[in-house]
Every structure is written in structure tokens, then in C-alpha cells.
Amino acid sequence: MKTVLAFDFGASSGRAIRGSYDGKNISLDEIHRFENVPVQEDGALCHDVEMMLREIRTACRKCGKTDALAFDTWGVDYGLLNERGKLIALPRHYRGVQTQAALEKAEASLGRHTLYRETGCQVMGINTLFQLLSDCNAAQADTLLFMPDLFGYFLTGEKVCERSIASTSQMLSPVSKTWSAPVLEACGIRTSLLPPLVNSGTVLGSYKGSKVISVAGHDTQCAVAAMPCKEKENAAFLSCGTWSLIGCELDEPVLTQESSRAGLSNELGANGKINYLKNISGLWLIQEVRRDFAAQGRKYTYNDLEQMARASTPFACFIDPDDTALSRPGGLAGKICAYCAATHQPVPETDGTVLRCIYESLALKYRFALEQIADCTGKSFDVLYMLGGGTKDKFLCSLSADSLNLPVLAGPAEATALGNILLQLYTLGEFQNMQQARQFLAESQSTTPYSPHHSAQWEEAYQKFKKIIHT
């Protein structure tokens, strides 16, 4: 029996999941959960790392002895250490950083397509490169550590950078799988700031008798590692949580101008593959509008929200889920109404209509992104695997199947934690390779099928949606 502990930290919560594997079956137990609420420091929105470390130690005490433990988190954010190995300041939260000037400076130095060709990364203001160029503490820093590597460092003292999380930074080459010298030089980033790169499956050290393993640090790559697909299947994936990441696995990166214009990313997967994907806003929109309603005295459960959306008139109005006007916290329902007015659509008059608008817009954006991926790769897809917490939302799964006109297999809901656990077990020698681990999942974990019910209404809605997002 092997027992491992997966720390899965999202933008809104953190969890510690114990995985027990006897060679035939795997069981998951949630040992500890806590809210991950950003804090203000010197006027900046930051991650409360000291609180998170307390929760990590609490989880380890509650769990007891394990063979190993590992961390996965969201991408792009980082901590800066001084020469003594101490945090200079709390890591900044990507939703609170002003990076437009830095992005424009980097584009002026390199050109947008060169920046893309060098890193294969969708050019977004939240990416580490632009955060770092905007960070007043960067000049005095000795080492940059991404969030999962930061937690590993605090437990073991080892400073490394796992490649999957590095590939979210806009600083890593997906071809050489090393730091991009042209990007660093053009932007004035010291190479000494960046720690050695390691692959998923590197043992960093130990903490209270448990091996500390660097798995795929980016939660998306952990989720994709747990995709229960068959070898050589024409499958696309949709990792659905705070963010939606839709894509497919490739052997080589796609670095064309067409891919750059489409805003597609080449991220490094845990299995050596390229995960070619599009970042799309996800369940954060639902979470944020729920907070907005609650602030106005209307408190709903997530089940309430789903049922309200189901009961509302379909295809009344649409948003681009990734419009910058909708990306920051606060007053989201009003922002959606303003967006609809500005794009000459009916303005939602009920909470249910706002929700229906979000749900359908997400499903339509998934189709838009997957068509871009198909165009850039020449691939066609027979099935979509939906992974992560979003699979609990049956309405979203159903709408996704209808919009894409593809069969959807939803699950596992705990894909990120499960991928983290499988990667630890692989490192401990329980699987020969990750395809064997996936085969084990396909045989042992159930998925929920959703058949597409595509209609002329969906096709008409998609054409309207495309016009609106290009307005």
C-alpha cells in the first residue's frame, strides 16, 4: 500500500487530498480544506503565504505518515526571495496586477509574434514576464519561485522550477524546454533570478519522513495527466475550474502566426507532451456573480444558480467571457448588463438571465476555441473529456456537448488532485509510465456521458456570438 498527500491549491480554496493505492484500487480522502482569500499588502492584492503554510502543516499533522507529498497550484504567480532565502513581500495576485505598460514594452522590444514564437505562450497581461517587469521588488530579488515550487522550498530548502509551471510564464521555450535567452535579454531579466529547471517526478527532499516530490506544478497539467483517455484517441480536453482550459495533446509545439493570432498556448505536460490550449475564463464568472448577488442581499446556493439558469430563456444575450471589462472582481452583474447594452443586445432583467448568459457564452467560447485549435493543428476530434470541478455542473456539461456538437465524457471531478497523486505514484515506481496510469483510470474511474443535441438554434446563436465578440 502506498499513501501520498496531494496539495491542490486553487485561486479560491486549498485542499489536501490523501491518495491510497494498493496496486488495484485507488481511494481519495479529503484531509483538510481552507479558503484561499487574497489579502492586501501595501495596496496590492496578494497571496497569504504564511496562512497557507500554516494550513499545509495542519494538513500534514492531520494526515500522519505518508510515502510522499506534492503541490499543484494555478499558474503565473510567484514569490521573490532575497539573498537570505526569505520572501521580500507576499506574492502578488494576478488579478490585482497592472501590467499593460510592461506588456507593451515587451512587445515593442521583441514584437508580439517573436514573443510568441520564443515562448509558445498566449500573450496575456497576467503572465509572469509582465508581472515581473512591473514588480518593484524584482531588482533586489535573488531568486524567483513559482507558487508550487515556493511551497516545496519552504519544506525542503530546495530552489527549483518545474517545467509545466514555468511554461505559463512567457519566459520558457517549448522547443528547447529551457529559459528563452532572447526574451530574457530583450526584457532585461537576469538569468540568475531563475532557478534550475526540473521535470515532473523530481524528488526534492523530505518533510517529516515523507518524500517531497515536484509533480506538474500547474494544476491544469495535473488535471490533464488524469484524463482517462485511450492511447491514440482523437480526444480534446476541457479542464474546467476557476479557469477553463480547452485543448489537445501534441508531440511538437505550434508556433505559427495563425496560432499566435488565435492566442493559443503550448504548455508542457507531465508526460513530455505539449498541451496545446486556450485559456478561457471559467467558473470564476459564476462564483463572482454569486458574490455580487449576495452583496445585494440575494444569497443563492450553486444549485440555485444552475436551476435559475436552466429556467431562463435561452440565447437571450451573450458576452465574451474573456473581455477585460469582465475580468476584475466587483459588480460583475452590472458589468454584464453594460456589456450587453454596449453590443446592442437585450439587457438582462433577472438574475437568471445573467446566469444563462454566462453559461451559454462559456459553451459557445469553448466551440470557438476548439475550432481555432482544429484549424491550427489540422486535427479533428471525436470526444471531449471534461475534467475538474466544473464537471459537477451538469448544465454546463450538457451545454458544452450541445455547443460543440461532440460527445462529452465528464470526470473525474477531482482530476487535478488525482493527477497529482498519480504523478507521485509514478515517481514512486507504481506505474511504468503515465499512459499505464491513464489506462488504470479508464478502467477504474467512471465518467458521465453527455450526448450532443445540436440544433439550428445553436448554430444561429454561434453566428451571433462570433459577431458580438468581434465587435
Residues serving a catalytic function are 219
State how far the Cα of 427 lies from the Cα of 190, in Å rounded to an integer.
32
DSSP, residue by residue, 309-334: HHHSPTTS----TT-GGGSSSS-HHH
DSSP, residue by residue, 42-57: TTEEE--HHHHHHHHH
State how far the Cα of 88 lies from the Cα of 106, in Å rounded to an integer.
25
**C-alpha cell recorded at residue 175:** 522547443
Give kind and range of the element (H or E) at residue 240: strand 235-240
407, with CB counted inside 10 A (0-12, 13-18, 19+), is middle
Amino acid at the residue 268: L
Residue 69 DSSP SS3: strand
Residue 133 DSSP SS3: helix
The neighbouring-strand residues paired with 16 are 7, 32
Q: Taking a C-beta distance cutoff of 8 angstroms, is the pair 337, 348 a contact?
A: yes
The neighbouring-strand residues paired with 248 are 276
340, with CB counted inside 10 A (0-12, 13-18, 19+), is buried
With b for 16 or more beta-carbon neighbours within 10 A and e for fewer, the 174-190 pattern comes to: bbeeebbeebbebbebe
Q: Taking a C-beta distance cutoff of 8 angstroms, is the pair 2, 66 a contact?
A: no
Which 3-state string (H, E, C) describes 156-201? HCCCCEEHHHHCCCCCECCCCCCECHHHHHHHCCCHHHCCCEECCC
433, with CB counted inside 10 A (0-12, 13-18, 19+), is exposed
Of 177, 178, 187, nearest in space to 111 by CA: 187
CB count in 10 Å sphere of residue 135 = 21
Peptide bond into 346 cis (omega under 30): no
State how far the Cα of 174 lies from the Cα of 373, in Å rounded to an integer.
17
